[in-house]
Amino acid sequence: MVTKRERPGTGQADEGAKEEVERSLDDPALYLNREISWLKFNRRVLEETEGGLHPLLEKVKFLAICGSNLDEFFMARVPGLYRQAEKGALEPPPDGMNPQTQLDLIKEEVDRLNGEYAEVWDGRMVPALAAAGVHIHGMDDITDGQRAKLRAYFEQDLFPILTPMAIDAAHPFPFISGLAINIAAVVKDASGRERMARIKVPSGLFPRLVCIDGERATSGEEMHLVFLEDLVMDNLDLLFTGMEVMSAHPFRVTRDAEIEIELDETSDLLTAVEEGLESRRIGVATRLEVSDRMPDRIVSFLASKLDLPPDLVYRTSAPLGLVDLWELHGIKRPDLLDTPFLPYVPKALANEEIILDSVCHRDAVLYHPYDSFQPVVGMIKRAAVDPDVLAIKITLYRVDRQSSIVEALMEARRHGKVVAAVLELKAKFDETNNILWARQMEQAGIHVVYGPVDIKVHAKMCLIVRRGRSGLTRICHLSSGNYNSQTARTYGDLGYITCERDLAADVSDLFNALTGYGHREVYRRLLVSPHGIRKGMEERIEREIQRHRENGDGYMAFKLNALVDKGIIKSLYRASMAGVRIELNVRGLCCLRPGVPGVSENITVTSIVGRFLEHARIYYFRNGGDEEMLLGSSDMMPRNLDRRVETLFPVQDARVREAIKRDILDVHLKDTAKAKRLLADGTYEKVVPEGGEKPLSSQDWLLAHRGEWHG
């Protein structure tokens, strides 16, 4: 792949050799496919259901996450590939794979995953749940008394709202909503003629898993459940009176979730997004899921009506809509769930009354969920009523449905503060919630800004302007995670609080650029995308190469969610070829191939999936002993670097920087219990402790030692 390398230790190579290296690093064989990497991540999520890794209902949760992830994949990624296959791709991905080849590989991989989902559910989870007293029944294995109870429930609660829809010459094929469970029923009339009908299962209005005994059981009691669609199919005779029900089979359709935003001179972005959401409801079908028992003729009929090719039809013996298994996670069985814990509250941030004074004395880091999110909420709540606070500015991407932070912002307006919120209306699948909050905040007098039409604001930052004895102080909170109290309980995110003047000035300038027309290419401390983060990262990687040539101790360690960008990967390859040691902890997508001789043999890549979603971004450069660490919102993906407003910021406080490296970054890199190592062929293998050492689970260690990184 690489035919000529620079001479070790000198970095001297003629221009022809450099050009040859650059061409070699464009070799598609050096890059893993993005879509297949995503599906490999879903397999790692599925592996969390194995053995004794988690309590039983937590394993069910991971299977539900698998279903949710795959839904989003077919709503967001597959439609784009099909458009490229039909119209031609603008440019091939780094791996050089054309759209149709990718779709063929996706079909193979998803078919395998569906088989594994079914095996996990039917072969392991259903028996284990039954042994724990949570029985998932088919309609054929319940007693006559139980069936009578369910029929009475069906007649009283379900029957009045069900609408069977005939499909024939007089009744056109009905519109099938995305992600809804449907039933295709074949019935025979008195003349012996077979007809087809569709029934939509109202799983959004009723629990997907119906408790035979009525109310859900309390802890320790036996619970007997059936799937809602099974209950409906067992009582179709009440819907088709005078007809003989020949067969019934569930199916589910996924639709393209991309929304079209069209702005004209008379509309605003909020209205345009609202109108665009309607296009999502009727988006083109991108997947048909059917029961493995559905006859081929019915499958072909449904696929033709939905205009779906065979490679977008998936048969499975697992329940359709695995995401609904989240319901089981909510039953009252604490013995089958993770042990609760109390997040740590640093002493300096514990007293809400003086928190604004405390954060100005020294920088503070919070690592959620090990550290409580309450200090962040408390800081904004205190700022809302503090007479010395003049203004609060914040970016909002994904917001709680009941947000104490937004309530605090509205309280700040009632106290006469200047409040500005940069709200991202285009946050996928959160658009409706964000629109509701936008209207409430506008009514409260908050300056709500939606950001550019063609770019998302993904940066996570809050600025509090406060009057003090020596003038104005700007308090900054910068984070990798959203201002969302719910996700802060399960997402591993780093938040940083500082009053450092240059960084605070940068944050202020960036807010002015977002709310007005200002623009800066270069900031004092911040790296800001579009473009600024790419340039800053590439410069730092090149600097590490040069420092390695001088000192021989080049080292970089990154923790992030996704590494996809070809330019960044090429820079890392060049660093590896120069001898720089690189450790990467990439939770999800990774298109870099580690361990390729002559190219990436100095790079290792691990991934951790566990109780908490690894969501923090940490970029560490040894820099010849003058260490630098960047935190922030950006992954190394083209969308983050070129098509979003993102921030990375340096950890200026050496004490905090060392604590993050020692107690957070290094701990994750040393994980030998949950970590999986990426191999050059794109597969992952379990990391095994060396020399008989006890396996180290980074998440368990952080739970046991939470608070230590605060000094």
pLDDT per residue as tens digits for the range 436-461 = 999 999 999 999 999 778 899 999 99
Section 690-708 average pLDDT: 92
Q: Would you say how long the chain is, in residues? A: 711
Domain-ending residue, one of 474, 494, 515: 515
Residue 313 forms part of a structural domain: yes
CB 264 within 8 A of CB 275: no
Structure tokens at 200: 């939509």
540, 510: one domain: no
Do both 646 and 582 map to the same domain? Answer: yes
Is residue 20 included in any domain, yes or no? no
**Structural domain for 396, as ranges:** 347-515
- With a CB cutoff of 8 Å and minimum separation 6, the contacts of 692 are none
Cβ-contact 327, 350 below 8 angstroms:
no
Note whether 423 and 552 are same-domain residues. Answer: no
Of 490, 515, 540, the last residue of a domain is 515
**Domain shared by 260 and 143, yes or no:** yes
Q: What CATH number does residue 265 fall under?
A: 3.30.1840.10
67 pLDDT higher than 60: yes
Q: Of the given ranges (60-69, 209-218, 574-583, 585-594), which has the lowest mean pLDDT?
A: 209-218
Among 336, 368, 383, residue at a domain's last position: 336
Same domain, 490 and 548: no
- 3-state class (DSSP) for residue 121: helix
Q: Is residue 18 scored above 70 in pLDDT?
A: no
Domain total of the chain = 3
User: At 16, is the pLDDT very low, low, confident or very high (cuts 50, 70, 90)?
Assistant: low
Residues 594 and 460 in one domain: no
* Assigned domain for 614 exists: yes
Least confident of 8-17, 20-29, 259-268, 327-336: 8-17
Average pLDDT of the chain, as a whole number: 92
Predicted confidence at residue 107, as pLDDT, reads 96
Q: What is the pLDDT of residue 14?
A: 57
Backbone φ and ψ of 566, nearest 5°: -65, -40
Tell whether the model's pLDDT for residue 361 goes beyond 90: no
- Contact between residue 131 and residue 331 where contact means Cβ atoms under 8 Å apart: no
In single-letter form, the type of residue at position 344 comes to Y
Identify the pLDDT of residue 23. 61
pLDDT(5) > 50: no
Residue 10 clears pLDDT 50, i.e. is over it: no
Give the H or E element holding residue 557.
strand 555-560
What is the model's pLDDT at position 50? 93
**Does any domain span residue 79?**
no
CATH code, 605: 3.30.870.10
Q: Both tokens of residue 316?
A: 């499975």
What local confidence, expressed as pLDDT, does residue 451 receive?
A: 77
What pLDDT, on the 0 to 100 scale, is given for residue 53? 84
pLDDT > 90 in the chain, percent? 81
What band does 262 get if pLDDT is binned at 50, 70 and 90?
A: low
In a domain, 433, yes or no: yes
- CA atoms lying within 13 Å on the CB side of residue 87: 8
Q: Residue 19 above 70 pLDDT?
A: no
Are residues 413 and 328 located together in one domain of the fold? no
The answer to whether position 69 is within a domain reads: no
Flag whether pLDDT at 381 surpasses 60.
yes
352 and 330 fall within a common domain: no
**Residue 130 forms part of a structural domain:** yes
Rounded to whole angstroms, the Cα distance separating 18 from 3 reads 11
- Average pLDDT of span 72-83: 92
The residues carrying an active-site annotation are: 458
7 within 8 A of 579, measured Cβ to Cβ? no
In a domain? residue 84: no
Find the distance separating the first CA and the last CA of the chain, reported in whole Å.
Answer: 48
pLDDT band at 90; cut points 50, 70, 90: confident
My answer on whether 542 and 473 are in the same domain is no
Same domain, 183 and 209: yes
pLDDT of residue 241: 92
Taking CB atoms within 8 Å and a gap of at least 24, the contacts of 241-244 are 242/189, 242/190, 243/187, 243/188, 243/189, 243/195, 244/187, 244/188
Tokens 């609080």 correspond to 497
Three-state SS string across 391-446, please? EEEEEECCCCCCCHHHHHHHHHHHCCCEEEEEECCCCCCCHHHHHHHHHHHHHCCC
- Spatial separation of the C-alpha atoms in residues 624 and 641, rounded to whole Å: 26
Q: What is the pLDDT of residue 701?
A: 97
| Whole-number Å distance between alpha carbons of 287 and 274 | 25
Q: CA 445 to CA 593: how far, in whole Å? A: 51
Asked if the model's pLDDT at residue 580 lies above 70, the reply is: yes
Q: Is the pLDDT of residue 218 over 80?
A: no
Q: What is the pLDDT of residue 8?
A: 40
- Is residue 239 within 8 A of residue 162, CB to CB? The reply is yes
Q: Domain check: are 295 and 386 in the same one? A: no
Judge whether residue 170 has pLDDT over 90. no
pLDDT at 333: 93
Whether pLDDT at 345 is above 90: yes
In this predicted structure, the answer to whether residue 221 has a pLDDT above a threshold of 80 is no
Chain-centre distance for alpha carbon 536: 25
What is the rounded (10 degree) CA torsion for 7, 8, 12, 17? Answer: 40
- Does residue 168 share a domain with residue 220? yes
Residue 36 tokens, joined: 């297949």
Alpha-carbon distance of 681 to 663, in angstroms, equals 32
Residue 620 and residue 627 in contact, taking contact as beta carbons nearer than 8 Å: yes
**Strands (DSSP E) along 112-180, which ranges?**
134-137, 165-167
